Amino acid sequence: MKSRLVEKFRVNFGRAPEFIARAPGRIEFIGNHTDYNGGPVLGAAIDRQVWVALARRAGGERRFGSDQRGELVTRPADRVEKLSGAQSWVNYPLGVLGALPAFGLRAPAGFDYFALSDLPPGAGLSSSAAIELASALVFLAAAGENPPRETLVKIGRQAENDFVGVPCGILDQGVSGFGKKDHLVFIDCRGPHFATVPLPGDARFWIFNTHTKHALVDGLYAERHRECLEAAQGLGVGLLAEVSPAAVLAAEKKLSPPVFRRARHIVEEIARVDTTVKALRAGDLAAVGQLLNASHRSSQTLFENSTPELDFLAETLAATPHVYGARLTGGGFGGAVMALTAESFGAFQARAVAAAYAKTFGAAPDILQAQTGDGATLVPV
């Protein structure tokens, strides 16, 4: 990837880059919609990434290129304005540039920038967090800044929330920033505090991307966010992470039926994340798999962010030999299902699941086998 990036940079800008960074995509392992409720979440950085190269240039221009789009996008260095249409991918690096002053950090003025990725966009693997973090690393290096990793993660999230306009929590950027090979990232979102949990050696990840997306997915994510806040308010707390599952069950009458279901999902999911950490530490992948299956059922029935396509995959996978468990990963309302499998689960079994899906829904999902990978980092040029 690195030599391809340097080559592309040379072809587009006629010189070598000064700084290179890479940042991984992520799998949401368990903890569905817990992050913005102040709960814990477990994710894995994967071995697919976004790579970014940058060289400073005199004059007031910033030129952005990417292997996914033909045209270079040129912007003035003294203004950060949102773009639309084919140029809208530049909003991720622009959002990062716009966020830096709020953290007391300088941004580079003029530069040439090129992004390259082997992370499929729109697959529920957070290519957006990856481009945000890789961009932040090269911008900061070019400006002579070196903030702590936690700040890097927060810059990415702020770019996404305030500039791109997605009200996400800290999961995606946190996992891309703190990923570690053969580990899961544990985030206590209230701090936020970041830690890693070793993943037992036999564990493998398979991702089945349905390429389905609910037409209202952005609006539905925001609606769930609002419902969770309404539930917290009804229960007299700031965030749902502050209430126990028992307290939510006891307060059913205080909430409207859908808002009660959302709250119940969140507090029970929070408990599942904690139980999952214990099962991982005990090396009990069978127990972890059951928790993943339970998480999916809760998304299906209580949080109502699953779809028939995701349910089919999660149920078929859960019933397939050598699969520990499966669940939707990410925001939901379409997107992808991840399966935690033993090493003995292979492409043959994965294709059988995809074929069964195709029989029911007409088109096969994309299959991606992922390994865990390390978090975002600068790479020597």
Of residues 30 and 116, the one with the C-beta less far from ligand GLA: 30
Pair type for strands 366-370 and 334-341 = unpaired
Among 47, 112, 132, 172, interactor with ligand GLA by CB under 6 A: 172
Which of the ranges 11-19, 110-118, 167-175, 233-241 carries the binding residues for ligand GLA, by CB under 6 A?
Answer: 167-175
* DSSP assigned state of 200: P
**Cα gap 142→111, rounded to integer Å:** 9
Among 330, 334, 373, 375, interactor with ligand GLA by CB under 6 A: 330
Among 171, 175, 243, 280, interactor with ligand GLA by CB under 6 A: 171
Chain-centroid distance of CA 190 in Å reads: 18
CB 296 within 8 A of CB 328: yes
Question: Closest separation between CB of residue 41 and ligand GLA, Å?
Answer: 7
Among 331, 365, 373, 375, interactor with ligand GLA by CB under 6 A: 331
Which of the ranges 8-16, 92-100, 164-172, 286-294 carries the binding residues for ligand GLA, by CB under 6 A?
Answer: 164-172
Of residues 34 and 316, the one with the C-beta less far from ligand GLA: 34
Neighbours of 41 (CB within 10 A): 28
Question: Closest separation between CB of residue 305 and ligand GLA, Å?
Answer: 8
Question: Closest separation between CB of residue 168 and ligand GLA, Å?
Answer: 3
Which residues inside 23-52 make contact with ligand GLA, applying CB under 6 A?
Answer: 28, 32-33, 35-36
**Cα gap 81→61, rounded to integer Å:** 14
Two structure tokens written together for 8: 């592309």
Which of the ranges 138-146, 169-177, 226-234, 245-253 carries the binding residues for ligand GLA, by CB under 6 A?
Answer: 169-177
Could you give the C-alpha distances from 278 to 31, 50, 268, 285, in angstroms and in order? 14, 32, 16, 11
Q: In sequence order, what are the residues at sequence separation of 6 or more whose Cβ sits closer than 8 angstroms to the Cβ of residue 1? A: 22, 49, 51, 116, 118
Query: Residue 172 catalytic?
Result: yes
Pair type for strands 40-56 and 61-66 = unpaired
Of residues 127 and 372, the one with the C-beta less far from ligand GLA: 127
Interface with ligand GLA (CB under 6 A), residue total 11
Question: Closest separation between CB of residue 33 and ligand GLA, Å?
Answer: 4
**Cα gap 82→64, rounded to integer Å:** 14
What is the residue type of 218? D
Could you give the C-alpha distances from 339 to 137, 207, 211, 244, 369, in angstroms and in order? 31, 6, 17, 28, 10
Which of the ranges 54-62, 165-173, 256-264, 364-372 carries the binding residues for ligand GLA, by CB under 6 A?
Answer: 165-173
**Contact between 265 and ligand GLA per CB under 6 A:** no
Instruction: Considering only the C-alpha atoms of the chain, give the largest distance between any 2 of them, rounded to a whole number of Å.
Output: 67
Of residues 108 and 179, the one with the C-beta less far from ligand GLA: 179
Number of residues in the chain: 381
Of residues 303 and 345, the one with the C-beta less far from ligand GLA: 303
What is the residue type of 18? E
Phi-psi sector, 48: left (phi>0), alpha (psi -120 to 50), beta? beta
Of residues 217 and 367, the one with the C-beta less far from ligand GLA: 217
Name the active-site residue from 35, 172, 182, 374: 172
**Contact between 169 and ligand GLA per CB under 6 A:** yes
Of residues 20 and 228, the one with the C-beta less far from ligand GLA: 228
Of residues 125 and 137, the one with the C-beta less far from ligand GLA: 125
- For residue 338, list its beta bridge partners: 207, 327
CB 77 within 8 A of CB 109: yes
Closest C-alpha among 233, 228, 224, 229 to residue 254 = 233
**Contact between 132 and ligand GLA per CB under 6 A:** no
Question: Closest separation between CB of residue 174 and ligand GLA, Å?
Answer: 9
Among 46, 134, 168, 370, interactor with ligand GLA by CB under 6 A: 168
Question: Closest separation between CB of residue 153 and ligand GLA, Å?
Answer: 12
**Interface positions with ligand GLA (CB under 6 A):** 28, 32-33, 35-36, 168-169, 171-172, 330-331
Q: Which residues are catalytic?
A: 172
